[in-house]
Amino acid sequence: MTAVKRARYSEGTVKIPAHVQSIEPFLAMEVMERAYEMERAGVSVMHLEVGEPDFEPPEAASEAARAGLVSGATRYTDSRGLHALREAIANDKAARTGVSVDLERVIVTSGTSPALLISLGALLESGDEVIVPAPHYPCYPNFVRFCGATPVSVAGDPEQGWAIDADAVRRAVTPRTRAILYGSPANPTGAVQPREVVEALAAVGPPLLSDEIYDGLLYDDVQVTSALAVSDDAFVFDGFSKRYAMTGFRLGYVIAPMPAVRTLQILQQNFFISASEFVQHAGLAALAQGAESVVLARGVLATKRELLIGGLRELGFRIPAPPRGAFYVFADARAFASDSKALASRLLEEAHVGVTPGVDFGSEGEGFLRFSYAVDEAVIREALARMAPVLAGIAR
C-alpha cells in the first residue's frame, strides 16, 4: 500500500478570529442533525424543529427548473439577476405592498441569507452596532458579528403581541448604530408588526433592514406593512423559500436603497457571481403561476395552526400571542422548565419530538419553545401524543 503524504498541521496553524468564534451554533439545525442521527439508528422522530414548509413548490416552478436544465439555462447570469426576474420581483412586491418598486433596486441572490450577508457587509465595519429586536431569527446577530459589528438586543413583550417597542429601540441607539434589523412576519413568534410600529421604527433614524420572507403566509386577515411603504432607505429582504416552499432552490432577493445598489452588485459579483440561471427561471414561473399554491398553503397552514395551538395549550404550554403569520408557535414552556435547551433535548431524547429551544432566538426567548406547524397534521397529532407523558412527568 502506498503511503499517503498528509499535510502536517500544528495546533496553531488555523486561527479563527474572535469575532467569528463568537458566532453561535444555529440550534434548530443542531436539533435536526441530532434527530437525523437518531433516525439513522432506527428511531422515528417527529420533526417540529425545522423552518421548512412541507408543501410542494408550485408545479410550474419545478417544471421551469427542469426545462431550464434541459435547454442549457445553466450559466452565470447578470450578478443582479435576470432582467425579467428582477422586473417580475419588482412588480410582485409592488402588488403586495402598494408601493411602486424600481427594478434597479432588486438584487437576486441564492436565498435570502446571502442578501442579508451582502447588505450587512455593505453597511458595517468593526465597532458598529445593529439593533435587533428580540426574539429574532437566530442568524441575524450572527450575520452582524461576522461583519465585525455588535448586535444590540431590544426585548419584545409577548403580552403586547410581540410588537416591537420603538421607544426602547430609540433608547438603544448610539452614534455607532447603523441599522435596525427585524422580520415581519417574524420567526419565531409569527408576529406581524402593525403599520404604526413600522412607521415609528423608520422615524428612529438608522435604515430599516426588514426581512419579509414570510409575507403571504398570514392568518386572521392581517396585512404586512412593508418597510418600503415607510422609508426610501429601507433594505427589504424576501425570497422563494417559504411562500413557495422552494427552500432547496436557494432563491431570494434584496430590494435596496438606490445609493447602496452598486456596492451590493460589486459584493455579489465577487462573492457569489450570480444565482443559478435555471433556478431563476423557476422563480419567474413561481411569480407568474404560483399564486394559487400560496393561497392553498395558507388555508392548510391555518388549520394546522389551530390544531397545534389547541394541543399545546392542553399540554400546559402558555401561548400569550398566537402567530399571525409564518408557521411557528412560540410557546411559553416555563411550566415545565426554565432551560429551553435542556427541555428541547429531553423532548427529543425521550419523546422523540424535535423542537427548537427558545434561547436560539436570543436570551429573551429563554423559557420558550418553537414548534413548526408546516408539517403533516398526523405529525402534529403524534408529536402532541408523544410529548404528553414526558411533560406530565416534569410539570412543576
* Binding residues vs ligand PLP (CB under 6 A): 51, 111-113, 137, 183, 187, 211, 213, 239, 241, 247, 252
Burial (CB count within 10 angstroms: exposed 0-12, middle 13-18, buried 19+), residue 365? buried
Order the strands of the 368-372 sheet from edge to edge.
328-332, 368-372, 356-357
Alpha-helical regions (H) of the chain = 18-21, 27-40, 59-71, 83-97, 112-123, 139-146, 166-172, 195-204, 258-271, 277-289, 291-315, 340-346, 377-394
- 26: nearest Cα among 47, 48, 49, 44: 49
Question: How many other CB atoms sit within 10 Å of the CB of residue 359?
Answer: 21
For 95, residues 6+ apart whose C-beta sits below 8 A from its C-beta are: none
CB of 51 to ligand PLP, least distance (A): 4
CA torsion sign for 195, 197, 198, 203 is: positive
Return left, alpha or beta for 49; rule: phi > 0 is left, psi -120 to 50 is alpha, else beta: alpha
The one-letter code for the residue type at 27 is: L
